[in-house]
A and B are shown apart, each in its own frame.
Chain A
Amino acid sequence: MNSKLRRYKICLCQKVLTALLIGATTLYAAEASSQDGKSILRKIDENLSSRNQIAESSMTIHGRRSSRTITAKSWTEGDQKSFTEYLSPASEAGTKMLKLRGQLWIYTPAADRTIQISGHLLRQSVMGSDLSYEDMMDDRKLSDVYDVNITGRDTLDSRDVIILELTANVNDIAYYRQKMWVDSERYIPLKQEMYAKSGQLLKRAEMKNIKRVENRWYPSLVIYKDMLKEGKGTEFRTNTISFDQQIPEHIFSKASLR
């Protein structure tokens, strides 16, 4: 009877130990994966974020019947200050946008007025594109606002990619969950999917023409697509970009809007 009880106790101990070992291994693996994911996100941030940047870009908005292209030059400092001047077409030329610490002003030359875009106006589309003012303004680093897990590896556009799943760790964020295909060598996302809380796919961004700019990799073409509506999406092309330049402080003042 005693030997039976002893065997039962040994067996139980073995089972508990095994369970603990498996649990610890899983936790460690998850933690390690999360850690790796975090470091990948930080590398992505290093590629995409900079102290400041000056860029000339064009945005092609594909409508139902026709497409139109808007070109602009922008000056950005960190994630708080940004100034954009639209260069073409003629109807948009001279329109200027200034972002200062969560506030956005737009100057329209036709009306000769500066208006502040605040609150829920920020959620409106920028010039009919698939991007909202908020999308353009949210420059927070991914590693600051998302928890990350590596969910797999794959090949995309002949590049080896790591698949990341990002879950928001802050409340005030537009996309609760994101899925990202990151170039395993260059640490630049090649595809990004934004999901609603319910799991519904909302937007997709595809990064193309990855180029070496100074000491980082940067996508010169990003195709944004609102997945809920029909259409070909919006192409955002960066024609020229330079990082860590000397930008005069007066650029980021309301006086520069006029």
Chain B
Amino acid sequence: MLELKLAFKNLYGSGLRTWLNVTVLSIAFVIILFYNGMLDGWNMQAQRDTIDWEIGSGQLWHPGYDPYDPYTFADAHSSIPPEIATLIERGDAASILLTQATAYPGGRMLNTLIKGIDPNQKILKIPSELLTSDNSDPDYIPAIIGRRFSQSARLKEGDRVLVRWRDSNGTFDAREVTIVSVFQTNVPTADLNQIYIPLERLREMTSMYNEATLVVLSQGAVAPQQYGGWSYRDNDYLLKDLKDIMTAKKGGSTVISGLLLAIALLAIFDTQVLSIFRRQKEIGTYIALGMTRKKVVGLFTIEGTTHSLLAILLGMIWGVPFLLLLQKTGIPMPASADQAGIAIADKITPYYGAGMILTSVILVVLSSLVVSYIPTRRISRMRPTDALRGKIV
């Protein structure tokens, strides 16, 4: 307790130097919270959006389907096994049929993926209900596309675009589809180069009657791990890429946090070295008065570490309103951010979890403790008589 009191008194006595250190450390602390909060917020939003728009609560894949190899799409289709079909009938799952195609907007050639989706499905946020058509023209094919594809293909609502594909036998077919709506999603993988049309229509166009490539499950749907060769993929598997990206981003954030912290800790280290150099007589007096060297080391270490406690306190005073304001308004992302291919919203809402805050506090306190202790090791080698005379250690 005495050490703590003395530490606070000495820090207070140091005046501007103390507050300079505390301010720098508090800035580093708040920026670490901000950066980690932003990444956590992005991670949560990206996972939520990917589940809502693309993967649902798990998927069942045709044995031949490999999302990383588009050449598998043409053969990855078959009738849905009865057990999985029961899930679809109950509304616990929605089947999707994929076909590679080429779109020709304005004479340009674009490789696309046609996704046949049930207009009545409610599992994904894709506005498939817009594909319900009462048009009597037998050749009318309603289609919806995402904003990104709409921009790259220069297509808008009401446009008609010629699409060419091959049926199950490899025979070419081509027809015009009508863009009935352009939807906005944060998930590029549910948007880029993709055309959604009614499932039954695609089945008829490709002669793949009652067939599907994959089945998306709703929340709470219990799916067999393997059925008729179809494999179940849970969200851990389906979100692995996203999680890997986030882990890599976290690695980057650790470097930035480390650099910021290093700058602040360097100031504390310098202060400690200077204190020990300038307060040799004081150290000698403490020892002469009966304090053990260990206690004096403890005193100086606590003094240095107290910087971090004050920095956290100061950081909370100015940082909490600032971070809460950012949480309320969101962090706007540049328009080109979604070109990276991962789910990212127009604005990221940071998420400050208790675990992340506690980890940051412990990191700041522990690192300042270490940095404060290192220079004080000299004290244990000090001879009190030399220290009293102010001789350099």
A residues sitting closer than 8 Å to B (CB atoms) are: 119-121, 123, 168, 171-176, 194, 196-198, 200, 202, 226, 228-230
Q: B172 contacts A229, CB within 8 Å?
A: no
Q: A228 contacts B74, CB within 8 Å?
A: no
Is B171 located at the chain interface by the 8 A CB criterion? yes
Shortest Cβ distance from A120 into B: residue: B71
Closest-CB distance, A234 to chain B (whole angstroms):
14
Point out the residues of chain B lying under 8 angstroms from A228, CB to CB: 102, 104, 107, 109, 162, 164, 174
Inter-chain pairs besides A119-B74, A120-B74, A196-B164, 11 sampled, C-beta below 8 Å: A120-B71, A121-B71, A172-B171, A175-B172, A176-B173, A196-B172, A197-B167, A200-B164, A228-B109, A228-B174, A229-B104
Q: B74 contacts A196, CB within 8 Å?
A: no
Q: B171 contacts A173, CB within 8 Å?
A: yes
Q: Which of A119, A120, A176, A230 contacts B108 (CB 8 A)?
A: A230
Shortest Cβ distance from A197 into B: residue: B173
Is B166 located at the chain interface by the 8 A CB criterion? yes
Q: B173 contacts A198, CB within 8 Å?
A: yes
Shortest Cβ distance from B100 into A: residue: A120
Is B175 located at the chain interface by the 8 A CB criterion? yes
Q: A174 contacts B175, CB within 8 Å?
A: no
Q: B169 contacts A172, CB within 8 Å?
A: yes
Point out the residues of chain A lying under 8 angstroms from B175, CB to CB: 196, 198, 200
Closest-CB distance, A178 to chain B (whole angstroms):
11
Closest-CB distance, B333 to chain A (whole angstroms):
34
Residues 67-111 of B contacting A (Cβ, < 8 Å): 71, 74-75, 100, 102, 104, 107-109
Given contacts A229-B104, A229-B109, A230-B107, contact A197 B74 (CB under 8 A): no
A174 CA to B1 CA, complexed, in Å: 88
A172 CA to B170 CA, complexed, in Å: 6
Q: B171 contacts A123, CB within 8 Å?
A: no
A119 CA to B170 CA, complexed, in Å: 11
Q: B170 contacts A174, CB within 8 Å?
A: yes
A119 CA to B172 CA, complexed, in Å: 16
Point out the residues of chain A lying under 8 angstroms from B74, CB to CB: 119-120
A172 CA to B169 CA, complexed, in Å: 5
Given contacts A229-B104, A230-B107, contact A171 B164 (CB under 8 A): no
A196 CA to B163 CA, complexed, in Å: 11
Closest-CB distance, A122 to chain B (whole angstroms):
10
Chosen A-B contacts, 28 in total, with CB atoms closer than 8 Å, are A119-B75, A120-B75, A121-B71, A168-B171, A171-B169, A172-B170, A173-B171, A174-B166, A174-B171, A174-B172, A176-B172, A176-B173, A194-B172, A196-B164, A196-B172, A197-B167, A197-B172, A198-B139, A198-B175, A200-B162, A200-B164, A200-B173, A200-B174, A202-B164, A228-B102, A228-B107, A228-B164, A229-B109
Question: 8 shortest A-B CB distances, which residue pairs?
Answer: A230-B107, A200-B174, A171-B169, A196-B174, A120-B71, A197-B173, A229-B109, A228-B104
Point out the residues of chain A lying under 8 angstroms from B164, CB to CB: 196, 200, 202, 228
Point out the residues of chain B lying under 8 angstroms from A168, CB to CB: 171
Closest-CB distance, A64 to chain B (whole angstroms):
10
A175 CA to B107 CA, complexed, in Å: 21
Q: A171 contacts B171, CB within 8 Å?
A: yes
Closest-CB distance, B309 to chain A (whole angstroms):
62
Q: A202 contacts B174, CB within 8 Å?
A: yes
Given contacts A120-B74, A229-B108, contact A173 B170 (CB under 8 A): yes
Q: A197 contacts B107, CB within 8 Å?
A: no
Shortest Cβ distance from A231 into B: residue: B107
Closest-CB distance, A228 to chain B (whole angstroms):
4
Closest-CB distance, A219 to chain B (whole angstroms):
23
Point out the residues of chain A lying under 8 angstroms from B102, CB to CB: 228
Point out the residues of chain B lying under 8 angstroms from A230, CB to CB: 107-108
Q: Which of B104, B107, B170, B173 contacts A196 (CB 8 A)?
A: B173
Point out the residues of chain B lying under 8 angstroms from A197, CB to CB: 167, 171-173
Closest-CB distance, B140 to chain A (whole angstroms):
13
Closest-CB distance, B39 to chain A (whole angstroms):
39
Point out the residues of chain A lying under 8 angstroms from B108, CB to CB: 229-230
A153 CA to B139 CA, complexed, in Å: 32
A172 CA to B100 CA, complexed, in Å: 17
A25 CA to B109 CA, complexed, in Å: 47
Residue-wise interface mask of B (107-142) relative to A, using a CB-CB cutoff of 8 A (1 in contact, 0 not): 111000000000000000000000000000001000
Shortest Cβ distance from A175 into B: residue: B172
Residues 169-185 of B contacting A (Cβ, < 8 Å): 169-175
A228 CA to B176 CA, complexed, in Å: 12
Residue-wise interface mask of B (150-171) relative to A, using a CB-CB cutoff of 8 A (1 in contact, 0 not): 0000000000001010110111
Closest-CB distance, B323 to chain A (whole angstroms):
51
Shortest Cβ distance from A194 into B: residue: B172
Point out the residues of chain A lying under 8 angstroms from B173, CB to CB: 176, 196-198, 200
Closest-CB distance, B62 to chain A (whole angstroms):
15
A123 CA to B100 CA, complexed, in Å: 11
A174 CA to B167 CA, complexed, in Å: 9
Q: B71 contacts A119, CB within 8 Å?
A: yes
Residue of B104, B109, B171 with highest tally of chain A CB at under 10 A: B171
Residue of A173, A175, A196, A230 with highest tally of chain B CB at under 10 A: A196
A119 CA to B174 CA, complexed, in Å: 21
Q: A202 contacts B172, CB within 8 Å?
A: yes
A173 CA to B169 CA, complexed, in Å: 7
Residue of B100, B162, B164 with highest tally of chain A CB at under 10 A: B164
Point out the residues of chain A lying under 8 angstroms from B174, CB to CB: 196, 198, 200, 202, 228
